[in-house]
């Protein structure tokens, strides 16, 4: 796919948009599917990945408990790969800044749990990390359209958050498409991440719909060669990705 004019559906109308070339894609393995007793080695096993996805769960926002600030601090010293912390916790307004201080390069909070998402995104950015907001499957993007310029990434959950290894929710594809259209319409410099059930079977659908950052847990750590799985997923996503509008 090369540069040129393309017709793109935005809401109910077709717009002519100039496309500058293929979109760059990123693969973020989720250590939720790794061996928690060997986290440093498991992080090294995917050093070709763009980010390491770290799922923080508090057994309140989701019915599962994983890890917290001290583990993130140790992990950030154990790997060169930047950490993409996904906070599935209550009261992220209170706890998220500590994850930036612990070394996370990107911090994602859930909008359903945040009391003041704009203030929180600004605080995360001011502390030096990328600010990202996540939407559970039942949370629509449209009410948050005006907040998008405050964010470096939007995460669309493609399973109910809480556990790895769940089946991908195809019904999220229209939301991914609508979010990509919003990003293009406003010319925003932000990434669109998908998380949950992303695998060799589903990654192309996500890329075609407009996602450009792909979290994969079991599809990476459930294989004998996690680094090879990352490379294969990246090739698949890049081949299916839409082009970048200018
Ligand atoms: C689920 C987590 C995901 C999880 C994805 O709540 O946010 O990051 O690790 O695992 P897979 O890729 O196995 O669905
Ligand atoms: Zn996650």
- Residue 210 placed within a domain: yes
Select from 139, 177, 144, 145 the least CA-distant residue to 160.
Answer: 139
Among the bound ligands, the one closest to the CA of 217:
1
Whether 227 has a pLDDT exceeding 80, the answer reads: yes
- Residue 166 placed within a domain: yes
If you average pLDDT over residues 197-220, what whole number do you get? 98
CA atoms lying within 13 Å on the CB side of residue 169:
17
In angstroms, what CA-CA distances link 33 with 127, 165, 219, 221?
29, 8, 9, 6
Point out the residues that are catalytic: 55, 195
- Residue 5 placed within a domain: no
What total number of domains does the chain contain? 1
Among the bound ligands, the one closest to the CA of 198:
1
Task: Indicate the angle between helix axes 92-101 and 69-78, nearest 10 degrees.
Answer: 30
Ligand 1 pocket test: which of 155, 164, 165, 202 has the largest number of ligand atoms within 8 Å of its C-beta?
164
Range of the domain at 234: 21-242
Report the pLDDT value the prediction gives residue 15, as an integer from 0 to 100: 74
In angstroms, what CA-CA distances link 122 with 119, 145, 190, 213?
5, 16, 15, 22
If you average pLDDT over residues 85-99, what whole number do you get? 98
Ligand 1 pocket test: which of 27, 51, 167, 196 has the largest number of ligand atoms within 8 Å of its C-beta?
196
Report the pLDDT value the prediction gives residue 246, as an integer from 0 to 100: 62
For the CA of 161, the nearest atom of ligand 1: 6
- 240 alpha carbon – ligand 2 mean position (Å): 22
Q: Which residue has the higher pLDDT, 19 or 156?
A: 156
- 15 alpha carbon – ligand 2 mean position (Å): 33
Give the CATH number, domain containing residue 113: 3.20.20.70
CB-based contact 6:16 (threshold 8 Å): yes
If you average pLDDT over residues 146-156, what whole number do you get? 98
What value does the mean pLDDT of the chain take? 95
- Residue 14 placed within a domain: no
Report the pLDDT value the prediction gives residue 5, as an integer from 0 to 100: 84
CB-based contact 99:69 (threshold 8 Å): yes
- The SS3 assignment for 135 reads strand
- Residue 30 placed within a domain: yes
- 1 alpha carbon – ligand 2 mean position (Å): 31
- 159 alpha carbon – ligand 2 mean position (Å): 10
Report the pLDDT value the prediction gives residue 79, as an integer from 0 to 100: 97
For the CA of 166, the nearest atom of ligand 1: 14
Report the pLDDT value the prediction gives residue 11, as an integer from 0 to 100: 66
- Residue 82 placed within a domain: yes
Q: Could you report the per-residue pLDDT of 33-91, keeping only the tens digit for each? A: 999 999 999 999 999 999 999 999 999 999 999 999 999 999 999 999 999 999 999 99
Report the pLDDT value the prediction gives residue 16, as an integer from 0 to 100: 78
- Residue 74 placed within a domain: yes
- Residue 8 placed within a domain: no
Q: Which residue has the higher pLDDT, 4 or 211?
A: 211
Ligand 1 interacting residues, C-beta cut-off 6 A: 30, 32-33, 53, 55, 86, 159, 161-162, 164-166, 195-198, 215-219
Report the pLDDT value the prediction gives residue 7, as an integer from 0 to 100: 78
In angstroms, what CA-CA distances link 147 with 111, 144, 190, 226?
11, 5, 12, 36
Report the pLDDT value the prediction gives residue 58, as an integer from 0 to 100: 98
If you average pLDDT over residues 156-173, what whole number do you get? 98
Question: For 171-178, which contacts have Cβ atoms below 8 Å and span 24 or more sequence positions?
Answer: 171/137, 172/137, 173/205, 173/206, 173/209, 175/135, 175/140, 175/141, 176/206, 176/209, 176/210, 176/211, 177/209, 177/210, 178/141, 178/142
């Amino acid at each position: 796919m090369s540069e040129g004019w393309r017709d793109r559906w935005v809401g109910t109308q077709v717009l002519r948009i100039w496309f500058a070339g293929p979109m760059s894609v990123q693969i973020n393995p989720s250590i939720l599917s790794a061996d928690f007793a060997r986290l440093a080695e498991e992080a090294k096993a995917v050093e070709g990945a763009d980010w390491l996805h770290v799922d923080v769960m508090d057994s309140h926002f989701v019915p599962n408990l994983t890890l917290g600030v001290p583990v993130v601090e140790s992990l950030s010293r154990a790997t060169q790969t930047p950490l993409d912390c996904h906070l599935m916790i209550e009261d992220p307004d209170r706890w998220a800044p500590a994850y930036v201080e612990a070394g996370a390069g990107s911090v994602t909070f859930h909008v359903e749990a945040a009391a003041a998402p704009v203030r929180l995104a600004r605080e995360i950015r001011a502390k030096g990390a990328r600010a990202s907001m996540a939407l559970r499957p039942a949370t629509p993007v449209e009410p948050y359209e005006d907040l998008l310029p405050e964010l470096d990434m939007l995460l669309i959950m493609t399973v109910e958050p809480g556990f790895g290894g769940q089946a991908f929710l195809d019904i999220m594809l229209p939301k991914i498409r609508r979010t990509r259209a919003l990003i293009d319409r406003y010319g925003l410099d932000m990434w669109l991440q998908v998380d949950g059930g992303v695998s060799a079977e589903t990654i192309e659908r996500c890329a075609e719909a407009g996602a450009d950052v792909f979290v994969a847990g079991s599809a990476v750590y459930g294989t004998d060669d996690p680094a090879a799985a990352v490379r294969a997923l990246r090739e698949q996503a890049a081949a299916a990705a839409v082009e970048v509008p200018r």
